[in-house]
Each structure stands twice: as structure tokens, then as C-alpha cells.
Amino acid sequence: MYYVQGQTGEWEVVIGLEVHAQIISDSKLFSGASASFGAGPNESVSFIDAGFPGMLPVINEKCIEQAVKTGLGLKAQINLRSVFDRKNYFYADLPSGYQISQFKHPIVGKGEISLDLENGETRVIGITRLHLEQDAGKSLHDQSADDTFIDLNRAGVALMEIVSEPDMRSPEEAGAYVKKLRAIMRYLGTCDGNMDEGSMRCDVNLSVRKRGVKELGTRCEIKNVNSIKFVQQAIEYEAQRQVEVLEGGGKLVQETRLWDTGKGVTRSMRSKENAHDYRYFPDPDLLPLVLEASMVEKIKAELPELPDEKKNRFITEYGLKPYDALVLVAEKATADFFEKAAKGGDAKLTANWVTTELFGALNKLGKSIEESPVSEEMLKELVGLISDRTLSGRLAKDVFEDMLSSNKTAKAIVEEKGLKQVSDSGAIEKIIDEVLAANADKVAEYKSGKDKLFGFFVGQVMKAMGGKANPTMLNELLKNKLGK
Ligand code: ADP
Ligand code: MG
């Protein structure tokens, strides 16, 4: 368990997250303007996004399906009737003066996410709700010394706000939650989860309480944290800060804070606003959203396999260790890569190669698995050569290195360099005899009990054979020869 050690004892940290996830959809929630990232300023803006009077919102069916899909992926209650409300506030990048959101009646109710933690434990975190809302525009303060510019491309883009229960207890759990939520949405194709492009943003709610205390403490909300690392750093800092305030005899006020990336601290932004500050009311331009049960059923029937199910299948179908399965399913692209490469071959060995050699190489190259210079087919061929004993593990690593830089197939490299492993017992035996004859003194030492020398003989034979001796055979033959 994670506790903050204070002057007066241990404090438990309580965390609830609100995640804003941009829905993958061609157009915005209530307009036909493009929702894609990267257009020039104000190029994707319709009259309704710009808040022109008299324009009527028309709901985008695709966004509703995406929200339902995400809800089902979170094992949540889908509400067949939900209501769009206006959340009123004034800001330059919100031309209509209100954001269309859902308040009392969200499209998705209670659900859950299960987290796999480092220590192998599983933790289930409650989802309170998921609702649909419009994003606001963007104020650009850094384009000119005197002026602020407004870009409305983002205004009206569909967001899902996903609110968790205050169930998390450590930075690790919060990080695991964001990762898992992102993985689920990526598997579903409902949000790309790119935090650095702002398509997933996170508000961290945090309070502390003395270990053993039941009641929740006063919370602060840290707005718009845009990476998992920052979520975790903000939690560490804020928990410590709250403990110090309370132990110093101070009182916490419920407030909204900012994470200052440069200084690594949270700073007060404004005192916490309440729902009534926004004067929510049902948007008179929109009817309640009523879904057909059959639509939900259809989406449910077509849901893809999600990370938890895939992990379990990898364990039962391929006999993978739970940890390896977990690592492979964390990103859908990795899971797909593994399955393609493992098809019809040695799945455990393939899993090993993906999680160690391939990950290591990609890490060094700074590439994602989609950009891997070694394709699924190429890895499959390499693992096949280990399985059929053409290559030892040692030689395979050299071949793999070569593949990374030359883009050649394993077979081509083996052919070219004459790397074929020697599995001819006669040939190995011949070298063993030579090595033992040349080291008669060591053989005598070995026979009188110096077992460690076995490795020395193996090394000498390997060296003499340019690393190409089949290691299993070499071991067997050597044992026989030495009579032990
Ligand atoms: P609001 O609408 O004002 O943001 P909510 O009740 O919807 O308030 O809660 C927002 C988030 O704060 C949720 O994720 C919830 O789990 C979390 N939360 C509520 N109370 C606490 C608390 N005492 N400590 C930590 N997190 C909390
Ligand atoms: Mg909130």
C-alpha cells in the first residue's frame, strides 16, 4: 500500500479521475465540420461551432455509437434515455456562451475497469458515469506579444467525459487506470488516446485522510494534466502538500489547481465552482436522446476482443505466462504483431522475442511497433530457424541485429554468412576431443570435483566452432565424454 509519511503518522491518498476523451469521428458532435487534428486555424468551423445565432444543433449518430461502445467496453450501464444540457459560462473561446453537455442524465452510468498492478495484483476501479459533451475552442496566447488569438477548430468536437469513483490509492494505480482506459478505447477505436495532441486529458481529484479514517477529506482538482507521468508527479506533489497543510494546523479549501510542468508543483487556479454556478438546464434545441435497445445489442454483439479477454486467451491458447500476456496486450498493435508472428510456430518463444529483443531494439531506435524494421513475417521466420535448430539462441541474436540494420530476412543472412548451427554430433564430438586433449590438466581438475570447469569446456568448444555448435547437443556430448 502507498501511504504518505507525515510528522503525525501515515496518510492515505484518495484519487478520482475525470478523463476527457476525444471521440474518433469524421465530424463534430452537432455539426458537419471536420473533427480531425492539424488543420490550419479556423479551417474546420461551421456556423454552429462559431455560436452564430439561430443555428440548430443536429446530433452526430456516429458519436452516440462511439459513446455506447465505450460504455460497453467499461462494462457499464447504458442509459436508453439521456438528456443534453447547457453548461453556461463565459469565455472567449466559447462563442455561444454555453457548452452542450449532459448533467443529470448521462448516456452511460456505472461501470468498472480492472487494473493489473506491478505486484501481480488486480484492482477494480468503479466508473461513475460517461457523458457526451462539446469541446471548447482554443485561445492562443503565444502568437503575439499584444494579442490573443482564437482557434475554433476544436469547438464542438465530441468528447466523452469519463468519471471514476474515488477508488484509486496511489500514483501507480492512477497511472495504470489511465493506461488501461486508453488501451480499452484504442481497442474499441473510440478515442486515439494521444495525450500530447490533447485527444485525452485528465483532471485529477485528490484528497488525503489519516490511515484508518473512513470519511473522505476535502479534495482539490488538478485540471488538464496531459501525460501519465505528469498525472503521477502531480499526485505525489499534491498529496505531500495537503498533508503538510493539515499537519501544520491549516484547512484545505476545495479548489481547482494547475500542474506547473516546469516547476513540478501544483498552483491554485480558482476556488472550486459548483454545478449551480453553471446554471445547467436542458438544451431547448435538443430532444432527449432515446436509443433503441436493439442498437445497443447490435454494438454489443460486434464489440472487439478487449485487453482483459485477450490476455486470458493468450494464457490459455498459447500457454503464455500471465506477465508476458499482460505486456503483449497493453497495446493492440503489439498484440496483433505477436499473434501474426506466432501463428503456427512456437508461441512462447515468439512472445519472448517480442518482449525482449524486439522491444529492446525498438526502444533503442525510438520506433513504435508499427514502424518496426523487422516485420511479423520476418520474426516468424527467425523464430522458426531457432525451433528447427538451424540457429542457436546466441546466433539468432546476431542474425536479428543484422536484420534490424540490413532489412534482410533471417534465411538470407544465415545463407550469406554461413551461420547455420552445427547439429552434426560427429563434428561436435571431434572438436570436444580436441579441446579435452589440449586441456588434460583441467579435465583432471574437473574429475576431482571442480564442477565449474564444465562451462569452461563448453566455451572452448563454442569458440573453436565459431559459436555455431548446437548448444543442447554440445552439452549432452560433453557430459558423456567427461563421464559425469
Ligand atoms: P464535480 O462534478 O464537481 O467535478 P464529482 O462529484 O463529479 O464533482 O467528482 C469529480 C471527481 O472527484 C470524481 O472522479 C470523484 O471520484 C472524485 N472525488 C469526489 N470526492 C473526492 C474526494 N474526497 N477525494 C478524492 N476524489 C474525490
Ligand atoms: Mg469535475
Please indicate whether residue 328, judged by its CB atom, sits closer than 6 Å to ligand 1. no
Measured over the CA atoms of residue 391, residue 396, residue 398 and residue 403, the dihedral's sign is positive
Please indicate whether residue 213, judged by its CB atom, sits closer than 6 Å to ligand 1. no
Please give the Cα distance from 274 to 377 (Å, whole number).
Answer: 56
Selection from 75, 80, 48 nearest residue 64 by Cα: 80
Which residues have C-beta within 8 Å of that of residue 472, sequence separation ≥ 6?
Answer: none
Residue type at position 460:
Q
Tell me: the pLDDT tens digits for 388-421? 888 888 889 999 999 999 989 999 998 888 777 7
In ligand 1, which atom is closest to the CA atom of 18?
14
Please indicate whether residue 109, judged by its CB atom, sits closer than 6 Å to ligand 1. no
- Total residues belonging to the chain: 484
Selection from 57, 61, 74, 58 nearest residue 21 by Cα: 74
Which residue's alpha carbon is at the smallest distance from atom 19 of ligand 1? 166
Which residues have C-beta within 8 Å of that of residue 70, sequence separation ≥ 6?
Answer: 21, 108, 130, 160, 162, 184, 185, 188, 190, 191
Q: How far is the CA of 127 from the centre of ligand 1 (A)?
A: 12
CATH classification for the domain delimited by 425-483, as one of 1.10.10.410, 3.30.60.50, 3.40.1190.10, 1.10.3720.10:
1.10.10.410
Mutate to test the pocket of ligand 1, among 112, 213, 215, 219 (most ligand atoms within 8 A of CB): 219
Which residue's alpha carbon is at the smallest distance from atom 7 of ligand 1? 163
Q: How far is the CA of 218 from the centre of ligand 1 (A)?
A: 10
pLDDT at 162: 98
Which residues have C-beta within 8 Å of that of residue 214, sequence separation ≥ 6?
Answer: none
Distance of CA 77 to the CA centre of its chain: 24
Please indicate whether residue 165, judged by its CB atom, sits closer than 6 Å to ligand 1. yes
Please indicate whether residue 162, judged by its CB atom, sits closer than 6 Å to ligand 1. no
Where does residue 421 rank: exposed (0-12), middle (13-18), buried (19+ CB within 10 A)? buried
Please give the Cα distance from 209 to 211 (Å, whole number).
Answer: 6
Which residue's alpha carbon is at the smallest distance from atom 25 of ligand 1? 206
pLDDT at 302: 97
Selection from 155, 153, 134, 151 nearest residue 142 by Cα: 151
Where does residue 78 rank: exposed (0-12), middle (13-18), buried (19+ CB within 10 A)? buried
In ligand 1, which atom is closest to the CA atom of 274?
3
pLDDT at 415: 83
- In the chain, which stretches have pLDDT less than 70? 484
pLDDT at 462: 87
Please indicate whether residue 170, judged by its CB atom, sits closer than 6 Å to ligand 1. no
For residue 369, the number of C-alpha atoms closer than 13 Å in the C-beta half-sphere is 21
Where does residue 475 rank: exposed (0-12), middle (13-18), buried (19+ CB within 10 A)? middle
- The ligand placed nearest to the CA atom of residue 216 is 1
Q: How far is the CA of 240 from the centre of ligand 1 (A)?
A: 19
In ligand 1, which atom is closest to the CA atom of 205?
26
Q: How far is the CA of 148 from the centre of ligand 2 (A)?
A: 27
Please indicate whether residue 16, judged by its CB atom, sits closer than 6 Å to ligand 1. yes
Q: How far is the CA of 219 from the centre of ligand 1 (A)?
A: 8
242, 248, 250, 251 alpha-carbon torsion, rounded to 10° = 40
Please indicate whether residue 252, judged by its CB atom, sits closer than 6 Å to ligand 1. no
Selection from 191, 204, 168 nearest residue 66 by Cα: 191
49 in Cβ contact with 93 (< 8 Å): no
Q: Where in the chain is the domain with CATH 1.10.10.410?
A: 425-483
Please indicate whether residue 129, judged by its CB atom, sits closer than 6 Å to ligand 1. no
- The ligand placed nearest to the CA atom of residue 162 is 1
132 in Cβ contact with 158 (< 8 Å): yes
Which residue's alpha carbon is at the smallest distance from atom 2 of ligand 1? 275
Please give the Cα distance from 331 to 153 (Å, whole number).
Answer: 29
240 in Cβ contact with 4 (< 8 Å): yes
Reported pTM? 0.86
Which residue's alpha carbon is at the smallest distance from atom 24 of ligand 1? 207
Which residues have C-beta within 8 Å of that of residue 386, sequence separation ≥ 6?
Answer: 346, 349, 392, 393, 396
- The ligand placed nearest to the CA atom of residue 275 is 1
Selection from 405, 348, 403, 343 nearest residue 378 by Cα: 403
Please indicate whether residue 18, judged by its CB atom, sits closer than 6 Å to ligand 1. yes
Q: How far is the CA of 166 from the centre of ligand 1 (A)?
A: 7
For residue 227, the number of C-alpha atoms closer than 13 Å in the C-beta half-sphere is 7
In ligand 1, which atom is closest to the CA atom of 216?
23
Please give the Cα distance from 241 to 247 (Å, whole number).
Answer: 10
Q: How far is the CA of 124 from the centre of ligand 2 (A)?
A: 21
Please give the Cα distance from 452 to 442 (Å, whole number).
Answer: 11
Q: How far is the CA of 308 from the centre of ligand 1 (A)?
A: 27
Tell me: the pLDDT tens digits for 265-298? 999 987 777 778 899 999 999 999 999 999 999 9
Please give the Cα distance from 340 to 363 (Å, whole number).
Answer: 21
Q: How far is the CA of 18 from the centre of ligand 2 (A)?
A: 7
